[in-house]
Amino acid sequence: MEDVQSDVESWKISGNSPAAYEKYLVPGFFKPWAEKLTALVSPAPGSEVLDVACGTGIVARTVSSTVKNGVRVTGLDNNPEMLKHASKLSKNSGLEINWQQGEAYQLPFEDHRFDYLFCQQGMQFFPEPQQALKEMHRVLKPGGRLALNIIRSIDYHPAFEILANELEKHVGETAGNMMRAPFPEWDQKTIRSMVEDAGFENLLLHIEIISMRFPSPEEFLRREAASSPLAGEMESLETDIRNQLINDLNRSLESYQDDNGVVFPMETVMIVADKKNNYR
């Protein structure tokens, strides 16, 4: 499995976007996925846990608040603005979490340090995902456990394909590509091989489907854009263009609307795997 590459160059959230991300996206799907992933693994009290690509830290915070009794949690991300927001949130909740800046494909930790390693919706953004998996394997203790989730391709998320197409039409190709970027083309077989090729065993693959809701197509656009690298561009969009975009989006999302707004499924692959017990 050497040909797996991520073509995402810069899906980088800045400005007020970490707060928007936490407010608009975390409750709807990142939080339920973090709870599911934590439950699948159930880290033991007293263990050392790493959350790679932690963002605003929902996985680190979920582990820290669920597994009490001295669990030591570190959250790592390469975006200092996400980490700043993560730190503010953990302090407000009275959680002790170590937040550290670093690259997933060059983890700033010694070999065999962690008992559990989580990476929620991070793999698809790494320029070298296979190298990141090797690094995750390196920093886990022998017998340590990996827990990943990776959203399924955009084919399983037609409402996002519609949003991306409308953005492409009204804002530009880059905006459309940006909205498609979080959805990798990786199927279950590809993900399985990536994880096994990095040295993991006892792989368990599970598909999780939840429903995502927004009060209207306009709010779907506004919240997704505000929580993404498109925030600045959308703010400075001419009023006429924005209105046209909203009109078209309303029309093309018609079949996803009910009396409470827009609703559609979100599907993610979850993987749990172990580093060999006798690994040296």
Ligand X SMILES: C[S@@+](CC[C@H](N)C(=O)[O-])C[C@H]1O[C@@H](n2cnc3c(N)ncnc32)[C@H](O)[C@@H]1O
Nearest residue to ligand X, using CB?
A: 55
DSSP states along 29-81: IIHHHHHHHHHHH-PPTT-EEEEET-TTTHHHHHHHHHS-TT-EEEEEES-HH
Which residue's CB is nearer to ligand X, number 207 or number 241?
A: 207
Q: At its nearest, how many Å lie between ligand X and the CB of residue 242? A: 25
Q: At its nearest, how many Å lie between ligand X and the CB of residue 103? A: 5
DSSP 8-state code for residue 166? H
Which residue's CB is nearer to ligand X, number 132 or number 159?
A: 132
Q: Which residues bind ligand X (CB under 6 A)?
A: 30, 53-56, 58-59, 77-79, 82, 103-104, 120-122, 125-126
Which residue's CB is nearer to ligand X, number 99 or number 220?
A: 99
Which residue's CB is nearer to ligand X, number 114 or number 245?
A: 114
Which residues, in sequence order, are CB contacts of 173 under 8 Å at separation 6+?
none
Q: At its nearest, how many Å lie between ligand X and the CB of residue 80? A: 9
Q: How far apart are CA 55 and CA 83, in angstroms?
A: 7
Alpha helices in the chain (DSSP H): 17-20, 31-41, 58-66, 80-92, 129-139, 158-170, 173-180, 188-197, 217-226, 231-235, 239-252
Which residue's CB is nearer to ligand X, number 9 or number 201?
A: 9
Which residue's CB is nearer to ligand X, number 27 or number 143?
A: 27
Beta-ladder partners of 267:
209
Q: At its nearest, how many Å lie between ligand X and the CB of residue 238? A: 29
Are 231 and 20 in contact by the 8 Å Cβ rule? The answer is yes
Number of Cβ atoms within 10 Å of the Cβ of 26: 20
Q: How far apart are CA 129 and CA 198, in angstroms?
A: 10
- Say which amino acid occupies 252: S
Phi, psi values for residue 44, rounded to 5°: -75, 150
